[in-house]
Amino acid sequence: MVALHFLAEDFPLVVAHRGASATFPENTLEAFDAAVAAGAGAVEFDVRLSADGVPVIVHDPDVSRVSNGTGFVHELTLGELRALELAHGGLIPTLREVLDLLSGRTGLDIEIKNIPGEPAFDSPKEAVLEACLRELEGFDGPVLVSSFNWLTIERCRELAPEVQTGFLTIGMVDPRAAFVYARDAGHPWVLPNAVPLLDAGDSFVREVHDAGMLVGTWVVDERELFAQLLAMGVDAVATNDPEVGVAAREEFRAVRGEGSAS
């Protein structure tokens, strides 16, 4: 069943951004499997709906960047999406396939793609979110639902208050503004971009923790920068290269005398 929280021994979390996407095609089963093998505490991926209402794992609103096809994801059926040749191999997976692959093996950071200005935007309906929550039944492991759209995560709290939610923000957004919103709206995670988070510093992380919340960030592939964020007390760091992240985390734990994760 969906767990309410990540385990204490998994912190600080290494979150595999679109899977082990530095070495495998992003948002594919191969990338997700490799992320687990690397020791990631959670796998992050992006969910959209096909034209026939199936949750699929694709980052962009259209398929042109990652495949030999064209068109918006929400205007293509699952069969049409599965027929595409991805630029670097693999197939566009369904959420069901991902859940079956990762259940009992790692946690999830499910980013709901329902962004204002995109053709499929439908807030406050939140069809993508609703489809994801239906699919989650039976998944074994912790789940975080995240979005840049606060309407999405507010709807998630209404429909599934047991599922953790996190507010993602881009580089131009002040992490403290995001924190105030997340705190007041009851979201346990605030997820600012790494650049403004570094500028905000240790005091910001302490402020989040003092509020009983967690802070994660994205996307960091440099080991030194990863280590700097861990030293600040950041609870989760998303990376395209989970091997680098796990190595940085284990070094951090060794310095603190915690030893390796079991």
Catalytic residues: 17, 59
Task: Identify whether the C-beta of residue 101 lies closer than 8 Å to the C-beta of residue 29.
Answer: yes
Assess contact for 248 and 223: CB atoms under 8 A: yes
Ordered DSSP codes for 21-60: TTTS-TTSHHHHHHHHHHT-SEEEEEEEE-TTS-EEE-SS
Burial class (CB in 10 A: 0-12, 13-18, 19+), 226: buried
Rounded to 10°, the helix 242-255/223-231 angle is 40
**C-alpha 127, offset from chain centre:** 19
Amino acid at 125: K
